[in-house]
Structure 1
Amino acid sequence: MNATFPTADALRAALSGALDGLPPKQAGQAVDRLIAHYRGTVPTGTPVLRDRSDVAAYAAYRMPATFEAVRAALGALREAAPDWAPATHTDVGGGTGSASWAVAGEWQGQRTTVLDWAEPALALGRELAAAGPESLRTADWRRARIGQDLELAPADLVTISYVLNELTDPARTALIDAAAASAQAVVVVEPGTPDGYTRIIEARDRLTAAGLTVAAPCPHSDACPIEPGTDWCHFAVRVSRSSLHRQVKGGSLAYEDEKFSYVVATRFTPDPVTARVIRRPQIRKGQVLLDLCTRDEALGRTTVTKRHGGLYRAARDTDWGDAWPPPPGD
C-alpha cells in the first residue's frame, strides 16, 4: 500500500478548501435531490450532477463515503492479488474522482483516465486532484457519455462506482461488457441496498460469462448462494464526517457507516479468501459467531470459542467483510 502519501487526509483537506464558502442551505437542497436519486426515486438515464452547486453538494455528501467503499473493494483485490499492480486505470463515471483517489492510495505510478458526462464534476475533480498524488495531478479528465456507445481503451484496472443506477438496463449491460473486454481487473461498487446488490449480481454474472474470475468478495466464481429476494450481500465502512458534511445532512455524529455491495473480477488468476465474513460478528461470552460465505459449503455459521486459543482472539478482532481465517501474519 502507498504509505508515502496520506491520500484520505489529502482528500479531506482538498474538499475543505474547495467547498469553503458553500451556502449550507443551497447545498442542503441539492443534497435532498441527490438522496432521492440515491434511493432510486428519480428517473435514470440522465446526468445527476448538473451544475456547480450539485457537484459541490455531492462532494460534501458522497465523496468521502464513495472513497472509503472503493478503498475497501480495492483492499480486497490487493488481498487476492498481492503481487499485481495496475499501470493504467480507467475510472468510468468517475465524476469528481472518488474512485481515482482510492486507487491512488493503493498503488503508485499508474496513468489514470476519468470519464464522466458531467463537465462540472470533472472540473471540480481536476481542482481537487491538484492536492493529490502524481497519478491524480496528471490524470486525464475526459468528458464522455456513459452509455451503450461508450468505447473503453485497454486498461489494467477499470473502476465503476455508484454508476449503474444512473443507467438504463441496456446501457448497464453494454458498460459491463465493455469493461470486461478492456480490463485485466474490474471493480464495481454499488449502494448496499437490495437493488444495489441486484445490480452487482447482474454485473458479476456478465463478468464471469466473459471469462473473468471473481477475486472478491466471494471465495468462488460460482453462482451466489443467496436465494433471490431473501437477503442481499453487502458490507460497511465507517466514514468520518466533516462539519460541512454534518451541515448538509443535518446530523450531529462525527461518523456514519456506508453500506455497499461490490464485485472484483480479474483476467489473471487471483487467490480468493477461503471464506468471507458476511455479517457483523456476534460476540458473546466465551464465543464468537461468524456468518460466512465459503468456497465449499456456501453460506454457513461457525462458532469460535475460547478453546480455540489464538483463533478465538482473532475472531474477536474480526470485522464484517474480513477474510476468515485471517491471513498469516494478521
Structure 2
Amino acid sequence: MVWHASRVSVGRLPSRRYPPRVSRTPEYAAALRTALRRAVGGVDERELTRATEALVARYRSVAPASAPILASRVHVAAYAAYRMPATHAALSRVLGAVAAHGLDPRSMLDFGGGTGAAAWAAASVFEALESVTVLDQVEDALALGRELVIDAPSPVLARARFQRARAGAWPEVRADLVTVSYVLSELDERQQDALVADAMQRGQAVVVVEPGTPDGYTRVLRVRTALIAAGWTLLGPCPHAADCPLTKGDWCHFAARVNRSAEHRRLKGAELSYEDEKFSWVAAVAPGGAELPAAETLSARILRHPLKRRGFVEFQVCRPDGSAGREVVSKKAGERYRRARDAEWGDELP
C-alpha cells in the first residue's frame, strides 16, 4: 500500500523502500523546453539577453533582493528561459527522493512558485496528484505559468491554478504537499521564518529547495532546525535528526543534470549541451503523520561523486547515526556491489 500524505493523520511512513518508478522526468523536461521556446519566441532577443544578465548578477549576490527579481514581462521571460529547466531538474530529483519513501500527495501548494517549475516536477513524479496551486505576487510570472501549461503532458498540470498572493497574506488553502523552492534568498531571516511557518501550517509535508551554495545551505539548515523543533519527521536528505556532521567550510549539496536546448545555450552563452544544477534541500512530514523507519533499515546519503575503482566503490556519506565519513562497497558484496556501481551523488547508499 502506498502511503498518501492526504491520509497522514492515520497513515505511517513504511520502513520498506518502494520499487523505483519509471521516471517521467525526461518527457516533462522535453515538454517544458518546447513550451518555453513557444512562450519566449516573440520576445526581442537583445532585451532577453540584457534581462538575463541582470538575473545572473542577482543570483550571484548573497544578499536579499532590494527589488523584485521579476520586474517586467521581459524579466519574467528571461527567468523562465534561463532558470526553469534547472529548477525543474532539481525539484524532479528532490521530489523523486521523497516519493521513494512512499510520499504520493493528491494536492500540492507551491509558495512563490512563479512560472511553475515545481508544479511541472510534481506532476512528473506523483501519480496520485489531483490538484496543483501556484501562489506568487508577480502577475506576469503567473500569466506565463498559465501559458506554459496549456499543452502540458498531464491533465493535472494543464488545469493547475496560478493565483496571485503575497507572503504573509496567503489564502487559507491547504494541501498534502507544500513546496518552497528558490524563494528564501529573496527574504530576510524574519521573513524566511514566517514563510516556513506558513508552509508548515498549510501542508502535511513540506519540501524546501535552495541553491547548492554555502549560503543556500545555511538557509536550508535554518528550515531543518525549525522543522525538527516543531516535531516534524525528516524525509531527506538527512538520514537522522542530529546536528549536521559536516565540518566547517563544507556544505551539503547535490546536483541534477540539465540538458540544454539550442535556445538555452544561446541565452547563456554556453557551448556544452548540458549543465549541472547544484542545490540543497530538506523535506519533512507533520507530527503524527509518519515515523522514520527503524534505524537499522535507514540508508546513508551519498554526499559526493562516488569513486569507482577496480573491484570496489568508495563513497562519502552521511550516516543514520549522525556521523559522516567514508564507506566502501567491494565486489565481494555481490548484488549490493552491482547496485553501488549504479549509485550516484545524492542517492541513498545501497
TM-score, normalised via structure 1 length: 0.92
Among candidates 190, 194, 200, match of residue 170 of structure 1:
190
| CA distance 1:71–1:27, shift in 2 (3 Å) | same
In 2, distance between residues paired with 1:189 and 1:150? Answer: 20
Work out whether 1:307 is the aligned partner of 2:332.
yes
Work out the CA distance in 2 between the residues paired with 1:172 and 1:211: 19
Aligned length: 321
1:64 aligns with 2:89: no
Deviation at 1:243, TM superposition (A): 1.1
Paired residue for 2:28? 7
| Equivalent pair of 2:111/2:136 in contact (CA under 8 Å) | yes
Mapped partners of 2:73, 2:275: distance in 1: 25
Partner of 1:264: 283
Q: Per-residue deviation at 1:182?
A: 1.6
Deviates more, 1:22-31 or 1:216-225: 22-31
Contact 2:239–2:301 (Cα < 8 Å) also in 1: yes
Identity %: 47
C-alpha separation between the residues in 2 aligned to 1:130 and 1:48? 25
Structure 1 gaps of 5+ residues are 326-330
1:111-130 map, 5 Å: 111-130=131-150
Q: Give 1:43 deviation, angstroms.
A: 4.5
Question: How far 1:270 moved relative to its partner?
Answer: 5.2
Tell me the residue number matched to 1:31.
52
Matches within 5 A, 1:210-229: 210-227=230-247, 229=248
SS in 2 for 1:91: strand
- 8 Å Cα contact 1:278-1:291 kept in structure 2: yes
Q: 2-side partners of 1:21 and 1:151: how far apart? A: 34
Measure the CA separation in 2 of the matches of 1:297 and 1:103: 30
The 5-angstrom pairing of residues 26-105 of structure 1 reads 26-40=47-61, 43-44=64-65, 46-80=67-101, 82=102, 84-105=103-124
| Alpha carbons of structure 1 residues 220 and 297: separation in structure 2 relative to 1, 3 Å | closer
Q: Which residue of 1 aligns with 2:252?
A: 233
Deviates more, 1:286-295 or 1:188-197: 286-295
Aligned residue in 1 for 2:210: 190
What's the RMSD between the two structures over aligned residues?
1.9
CA distance in 1, matches of 2:23, 2:284: 25
Aligned counterparts of 2:302 and 2:324: Cα–Cα separation in 1: 10
1:142-153 aligned within 5 A: 142-146=163-167, 148-150=168-170, 153=173
Do the aligned partners of 1:31 and 1:61 also contact (CA within 8 Å) in 2?
yes
Give the equivalent residue in structure 2 for 1:134. 155
- Give the match's secondary structure for 1:261: strand
- Normalising by structure 2, we get a TM-score of 0.87
Q: 1:33 to 1:41 in 2, by over 3 A?
A: farther
Question: Is the CA contact 2:244–2:322 (under 8 Å) kept in the aligned structure 1?
Answer: no
Give the gaps of 5 or more residues in structure 2: 1-20
Asked if 1 retains the 8 angstrom alpha-carbon contact of 2:24 and 2:125, the reply is: no
SS in structure 1 of the partner of residue 198 of structure 2: helix
User: Which residue among 295, 305, 310 is the counterpart of 1:280?
Assistant: 305
